[in-house]
Structure 1
């Protein structure tokens, strides 16, 4: 029997009679309740209560919420135990956002960031992780584009400005693009030096970003 985690998170599981993976996920979560890794498990059959699926915004099952983490699809007992531990200990939100992007659940990643804005700086750390998959890299770009012009993205301008001076050209280019998306006038102070960047593509991105800010 595993050692119970500190302050175990509660879980909500949505299932349906025709779901091929729901039984295995239900069994796994039940085992985690028995072991103390999850404090309480609520199970809802959406064939009986379709309004619950509407409330959480899902059309597919198995869908589960463990603490603040929402997961969709088939997961093993070990994977669910890991997420239960992360939910209980407050693991970095970047791990959860990365999981969502790996599963191509972009809308859910954006919704999570909007609900928990303190998780936004995690995107900057993810930008610098060269080992992330293409799904994560493309997903990060899509998140920044979805946040274009928002107050959330404006809060990242100083940190993006620092990345605009990075020694790696790809990070300077990404930072320049996201600074343009911010619509923050102060972003220009970091973009203008990039007009003299040694890399052609970085100079081009910086010029386009300044155009986006209305400063050609």
Structure 2
């Protein structure tokens, strides 16, 4: 897989921008980044306006956008996983943790296949409540869409998770697919050890068409 490219937006009077520029340039030299484009917003404000950028330094590595100062090691870490499924999952986790749900939703609306990157959050029992709720909002936003239906096998696997919270959430999302093919996984949870899982599985089955 080729190294991702980076776009850095900076300004002449930004105290953190020189360090970011130097760090990214080093990553290009090392081959961690394929190419670096740097734009001074004082000279080209239209670039920042087009991207909706309000503060610098701002960098986009592959599909990942970061605001503020970041150490070279962190930039290298994002570059290494910028175009991977695991990297996008980590990025969505970060966005939701920071309360940037609209940003995550906009990315998925622009590229629906990215919805799959939300599923690792559903299966992460250590994720905070706010992050899990954010992931739920994203999945519910795409209820009944082809993007969510494509995740049916993965949601089915999560419905068998050892943690009851994950099983319950997975059953809820299985119902949102609107797919009769979700029924076998939900039928298996009707006799679940956890009462909440049993209840949500039953509610989801009521939403689905008959096979």
TM-score by length of 1: 0.76
Distance verdict in 2 for CA 1:68–1:45, change over 3 Å = same
Q: How does 1:44-59 map to 2 (within 5 A)?
A: 44-59=39-54
Question: Which shows bigger deviation, 92-101 or 14-23?
Answer: 14-23
The residue that corresponds to 1:97 in the other structure is 92
The secondary structure found in structure 1 opposite 2:81 is helix
User: Are residue 124 (structure 1) and residue 119 (structure 2) matched?
Assistant: yes
Segments of structure 2 that go 5 or more residues without pairing to the other structure are: none
Q: How does 1:84-163 map to 2 (within 5 A)?
A: 84-87=79-82, 90=84, 92=86, 93-115=88-110, 119-163=114-158
User: Are residue 22 (structure 1) and residue 17 (structure 2) matched?
Assistant: yes
Q: Distance in 1 between matches of 2:205 and 2:14?
A: 50
How many residues matched?
A: 209
Q: Distance in 2 between matches of 1:21 and 1:107?
A: 27
User: Are residue 181 (structure 1) and residue 176 (structure 2) matched?
Assistant: yes
User: Are residue 67 (structure 1) and residue 62 (structure 2) matched?
Assistant: yes
The residue that corresponds to 2:196 in the other structure is 201
Q: C-alpha deviations, 1:174-205, integer Å up to 9, x for none?
A: 11111122232333343344344332212232
Distance verdict in 2 for CA 1:183–1:27, change over 3 Å = same
User: Are residue 13 (structure 1) and residue 8 (structure 2) matched?
Assistant: yes
Question: Which shows bigger deviation, 30-39 or 194-203?
Answer: 30-39
The secondary structure found in structure 2 opposite 1:38 is coil
The residue that corresponds to 1:38 in the other structure is 33
The residue that corresponds to 1:3 in the other structure is none
Q: Distance in 2 between matches of 1:15 and 1:9?
A: 19
Distance verdict in 2 for CA 1:98–1:34, change over 3 Å = same
TM-score by length of 2: 0.77
The secondary structure found in structure 1 opposite 2:6 is strand
The secondary structure found in structure 2 opposite 1:149 is coil
Distance verdict in 2 for CA 1:151–1:75, change over 3 Å = same
Distance verdict in 2 for CA 1:166–1:32, change over 3 Å = closer
Distance verdict in 2 for CA 1:20–1:174, change over 3 Å = farther
Question: Which shows bigger deviation, 64-73 or 124-133?
Answer: 124-133
Shift of 1:57: 4.1
Distance verdict in 2 for CA 1:8–1:187, change over 3 Å = closer
Q: Distance in 1 between matches of 2:85 and 2:185?
A: 32
Work out whether residues 125 and 163 of structure 2, in 8 Å CA contact, stay in contact via their aligned partners in 1.
Answer: no
